[in-house]
Structure 1
Amino acid sequence: MKRIVGAILAGGQSRRFGSPKAFAKQNGVYFFQRAVEALRPFVQELYIVSHPALVSRFQQETSEKVIVDEQVYRGQGPLAGIYTVMKQTEAEWIFVLPCDMPYMRASTIGNMVSYIDASFDIVVSAHFGRVQPLVGAYHHRVIGDIERLLKAGNNRMFWLLEKSRVRYVKEEDFFEDERVFRNINRAAEYDDIVTEDML
């Protein structure tokens, strides 16, 4: 297997949620730990990209490497997080997950990893017509494009997708429960999953 490292993006400020989403719980397990469980079987190293204010809390809860965005690009969102991990490693591929998908499964990641192909720069999920740029693998060769975008202040993930050779993995490639790709962004959505899990 080509060398793959994992990147869990947990550097957002969770304004809409009201508290750090990474430390919300689903069935007693922190959201970020769900991402760790899903990624860990398929990566040789794993990084949690944290907001600076949460580093010590992560370090209390996990033995995984915890890093913060490079100072020059701090606050520029997921693209800065991916760039930061790429600067930390020479691994060929970076597999990215957000910290707010508590239903993500290791089997889903395994299926996604099987579509990694060096003829593409990026391999991301596009299940059910929804492109998920934060569920997928990024080849280290795109670091230059990422840096140019960040320097220009163009930090939308889709700018990078438009510049790259992308393999969009869809439900026709492997079927998955739509709930697996569900992001929890607001407190009301979290209340819904707590209720669902109690049923």
Structure 2
Amino acid sequence: MKRMTGVVLAGGQSRRFGSPKAFAKFKGKYFFEIAVETLRTVAEDIYIVSHPSLLDCFRQKTAEKVIMDDERYRGQGPLAGIYTVMKKSEAEWIFVLPCDMPYMRREVAEKLAKYANEKFDAIICAHFGRIQPLVGMYHRRTFEQIEKLLQAKDNRMKSLLDRCHVRYVTEQDFWENEIVFRNVNKPNEFDDMVT
């Protein structure tokens, strides 16, 4: 069994951003490419989970595996993306990253991956008091719990974490600059970050 599969979540509508965030650029790279490169050192396979309207665009810009959410749960957010990859992959752990963290670094993924431990169902970044359910790893044994939540139309990541034995990794475990964990939601936020 493969140890770890990487998942880049890139299916959001990016309404506040005004255009698909995955294709915004930072230092000459698309946001989604930054996430893929971050995961490459820890994951044996990488999937980009996206919206049907963006599939062609992704396929023109990358050779990575690009998939849509499982049809039954399409539109139910990140939880549906994680579920879909767990169905396709046999990996023990699914390492999740959003596509809108342009300051994310490989070193973060490498440090976090070291905390993978059979005692826990999920390993989640919680630096500086902010729990980041989309920067973390989920053991495949969470699959049934995820499916139950999706069937109940409860797609909140917090609902999953409440049902899991979670190891929250903080700045006490490893230090990283706070900006690394910042999501970009609007173009002007990104402008502020770049300057």
Alignment TM-score, normalising by the size of structure 2:
0.98
Q: Which amino acid aligns with 1:124?
A: I
Give, in whole Å, the separation in 2 of the partners of 1:25 and 1:192.
14
Residue in structure 2 matched with residue 153 of structure 1 by the alignment: 153
Alignment of 1:69-84 (within 5 A): 69-84=69-84
Counterpart residue number, 1:105: 105
- What's 2:189 paired with? 189
Secondary structure (helix, strand or coil) at the match of 2:104 reads: coil
Give runs of aligned pairs for residues 20-59 of structure 1, distance below 5 A.
20-59=20-59
Secondary structure in structure 1 of the residue aligned to 2:154? coil
Which stretch shows the higher mean deviation, 183-192 or 98-107? Answer: 183-192
Residues in 2 aligned to 1:180 and 1:136: alpha-carbon distance in whole angstroms: 14
The one-letter code of the counterpart of 1:46 is I
CA displacement at 1:25 relative to structure 2 = 0.4
- Structure 2: runs of 5+ lacking an equivalent: none
Deviation at 1:182, TM superposition (A): 0.7
- Measure how far apart 1:2 and its partner are: 6.2
The corresponding residue for 1:116 is: 116
- For 2:173 and 2:27, locate their aligned partners in 1 and report how far apart those are by CA, in whole Å: 30
Whole-angstrom distance in 1 between the partners of 2:187 and 2:38:
23
Q: Give the corresponding residue for 2:173.
A: 173
Structure 1 residue 11 and structure 2 residue 11: aligned? yes
Once residues 34 and 51 of structure 1 are traced to their aligned partners in structure 2, the CA distance between those partners, rounded to angstroms, is: 19
Deviation at 1:187, TM superposition (A): 2.0
Counterpart CA distance in 1 for 2:129 and 2:2 is 29
**Matches of 1:57 and 1:63, distance apart in 2:** 11
2:164 aligned residue:
164
TM-superposed deviation, 1:69: 0.3
The corresponding residue for 1:142 is 142
Q: Using the alignment, how far apart are the partners of 2:28 and 2:138 within structure 1?
A: 31
Report deviation, 1:86.
Answer: 0.4
Counterpart Cα distance in 1 of 2:52 and 2:191? 27
Distance 1:69 1:105 in 2: 26
Percentage of pairs with the same residue: 62
Looking at structure 1, the residues matched to 60 and 6 of structure 2 have their Cα atoms a distance apart, in angstroms, of 20
Q: Distance in 1 between matches of 2:39 and 2:163?
A: 26
Number of equivalenced pairs: 195
Cα deviation 1:126-146 (Å, max 9, x = unaligned): 000000000000000100000
Compute the displacement of 1:193 (Å): 2.7
User: 1:137-174: CA deviations, max 9, x gaps?
Assistant: 00001000000000101100000000000000000000
Q: CA separation in 1, counterparts of 2:37 and 2:22?
A: 14
SS of corresponding position for 2:95: strand
The amino acid that maps onto 1:123 is I
Q: Distance in 2 between matches of 1:169 and 1:187?
A: 29
| CA contact 2:11–2:50 (8 Å) conserved in 1 | yes
Superposition CA RMSD, Å? 1.1
